[in-house]
């Protein structure tokens, strides 16, 4: 009876260990995202991950949306803790990120707001670096702290203001996003 008990115990421990590994991360298109990230004193939970395709056939990148505890996804552009991580399948130059940022914000805010945001848009555009396949940008906003841009876990800079955070996250999550399917996938819990 002892060998059977040992086999059952070992099988149970393996089941628990494998289950714990699955609960700690999610994978999309071979890219792994943590179920939680800790930023300063905040814990942000993975809400969803999605793939962005360019011209239907080309896999451009995968992204993951994290929200602070108790944050409703309907309020994602409000003054709430949030993070967007994007891992790229293709190389992209810094100047192309800058152009896309200007265009994406302009598509989602009124002209007067865009004028007010322009100095901060210029600052974030100076932070961008060229990326190669496998690089990961993260954009993290914490109230009273600002929006942090990091590349592969290294902070590049921080921009103040909840209005700026709302505008920059709107590029992917706003009413006129870069890609509606990507936005909808990120905002729909599976």
Domains and CATH numbers, the chain: 25-187 (3.50.70.10)
- pLDDT for 106 equals 97
Residue 53 CA to residue 35 CA, distance in Å, equals 23
Q: What is the pLDDT of residue 56?
A: 66
| Per-residue pLDDT, 157 | 98
* pLDDT for the residue numbered 26: 87
What pLDDT shows up at residue 54? 77
b (16+ CB within 10 A) / e for 127-139? bbeebeeebbbbb
Tokens of 138: 């993260």
pLDDT of residue 20: 33
Closest to 79 (Cα-Cα) out of 139, 138, 154, 166: 166
Q: Quote the pTM value.
A: 0.84
| 186, 173 Cβ separation under 8 angstroms | yes
What confidence score (pLDDT) does residue 7 get?
A: 32
CA distance 57 to 80: 34
C-alpha of 122 from chain center: 21
H-helix segments, 40-179: 94-106, 111-127, 162-173
Query: Per-block average pLDDT, block size 10, for the chain (190 residues)?
Result: 39 33 68 94 94 79 95 96 97 96 97 97 98 97 97 98 98 96 91
User: So what's the pLDDT on residue 12?
Assistant: 34
């Amino acid at each position: 009876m002892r060998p059977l008990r040992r086999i059952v115990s070992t099988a149970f421990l393996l089941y628990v260990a494998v289950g714990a590994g699955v609960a700690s991360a999610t994978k999309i298109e071979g890219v792994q995202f943590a179920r939680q990230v800790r930023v300063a004193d905040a814990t942000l939970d993975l809400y969803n991950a999605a793939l962005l395709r360019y011209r239907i056939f080309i896999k451009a990148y995968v992204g993951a949306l994290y929200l602070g505890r108790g944050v409703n996804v309907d309020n994602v552009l409000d003054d709430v803790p949030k993070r967007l991580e994007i891992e790229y399948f293709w190389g992209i130059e810094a100047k192309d990120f800058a152009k896309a940022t200007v265009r994406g914000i302009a598509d989602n805010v009124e002209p007067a707001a865009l004028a007010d945001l322009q100095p901060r848009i210029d600052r974030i555009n100076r932070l961008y670096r060229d990326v190669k396949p496998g690089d990961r940008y993260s954009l993290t906003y914490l109230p009273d702290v600002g929006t942090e841009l990091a590349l592969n876990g290294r902070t590049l800079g921080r921009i103040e203001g909840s209005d700026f955070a709302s505008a920059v996250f709107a590029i992917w999550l706003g009413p006129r996003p870069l890609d509606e399917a990507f936005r909808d996938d990120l905002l729909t819990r599976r």
